[in-house]
Amino acid sequence: MSRTSAELKRLAREQLNGHWGLAIAANLLVEMIVSGLLMPFYFLLILTGSGTVQYITYIVAAIIISAASMILQCGILRMYFGFARNQEAGVGMVFEEFTRRPDRYVLGYVLIFVVEMLCVLPGAICLAVGIVVETVLAISIGVALYIAGFVVVIIVSLRLSQIFYLLVEHGDMSVIEAFHVSSQMMEGNMGRFFYINLSFIGWSLLGLLSCGIGMLWVTPYMMQTNVNFYRDLTGELDGDAGSGVEA
């Protein structure tokens, strides 16, 4: 049974009831860790000037830290699964994924990043060449290719959106297998997933307008809803009697 965005959100609110503080604390902890790791590279970029070497160093550091942070994010994801199934959960779960083949999460992030970059690379190269040689035709083609590549990125992101849910749920699943299974699961469901996440734009804008404070609540709400979407795809919710808790 395919549940609507409203139904999945209702389940998310029910499951987060009594767990908002824990969810907010876990997300804040991860944000502080990632920011703390990235801050030295940011200050190095500012203090030494925005040269090419400094900028590349900062970008590389950001990519590496983001890849590593996926392990922490997957720990949070397991916590949301716990909320959904009425299981015991705690902030310590954020770090537990380091004991569950964490290389899979990093590899999954890297492969998705590479695939998405390859989608926009032709347009970016053509656009850069057009700007350098000041050719209107090349710039126009570059813009068109970049826009087309961006659309492909969205499609690829939707098709591969369930990878980390699968890796968290199945400790013996390889990254390549997760890519394949996610693609199968999202067949015919990409539009629904896109709409569900699009429906959070209003909440996200309100969260940002509150100097980001509101995002402390919006982020868990969105993530819990997406966990329920995954459970809906696997058929798990069909045995929950509509409560979001396993029977």
Q: Convert the pLDDT of each residue in 182-199 to its tens digit.
A: 999 999 999 999 999 999
pTM of the predicted model as reported, rounded to 2 decimal places: 0.87
In a domain, residue 100? The reply is yes
Q: Which residues contact residue 152 at a Cβ distance below 8 angstroms, ignoring those fewer than 6 apart?
A: 119
Cβ atoms of 225 and 244 closer than 8 Å: no
Exposure string over 1-29, b if 16+ CB within 10 A, otherwise e: eebebebbbbbbebbbeebeebbbebbeb
In a domain, residue 88? The reply is yes
Examine the pLDDT at 83 and tell me if it is beyond 60.
yes
Paired tokens of 10: 């209702």
Cα separation, 31 vs 191, whole angstroms: 30
Cα separation, 55 vs 118, whole angstroms: 21
Cα separation, 79 vs 111, whole angstroms: 25
Examine the pLDDT at 9 and tell me if it is beyond 90.
yes
Residue 242: predicted pLDDT: 39
In a domain, residue 15? The reply is yes
In a domain, residue 247? The reply is no
Cα separation, 189 vs 162, whole angstroms: 11
Mean pLDDT of 31-49: 85
In a domain, residue 183? The reply is yes
Residue 225: predicted pLDDT: 97
Considering its fold, how many domains does the chain have in total? 1
In a domain, residue 116? The reply is yes
Cα separation, 98 vs 176, whole angstroms: 20
DSSP 8-class letter at 212: T
SS3 per-residue string spanning 45-102: HHHCCCCHHHHHHHHHHHHHHHHHHHHHHHHHHHHHHHHHCCCCCCCCHHHHHHHCCC
In a domain, residue 244? The reply is no
Examine the pLDDT at 243 and tell me if it is beyond 60.
no
Examine the pLDDT at 13 and tell me if it is beyond 50.
yes
In a domain, residue 245? The reply is no
Mean pLDDT of 3-30: 94
Q: How many CB atoms lie within 10 A of CB 227?
A: 26
In which domain, by residue range, is 14 found?
A: 5-239
Residue 1: predicted pLDDT: 63
Residue type, 2: S
| CA torsion through residues 170, 174, 175, 177, sign | negative
List pLDDT tens digits, range 18-34.
999 999 999 999 999 99
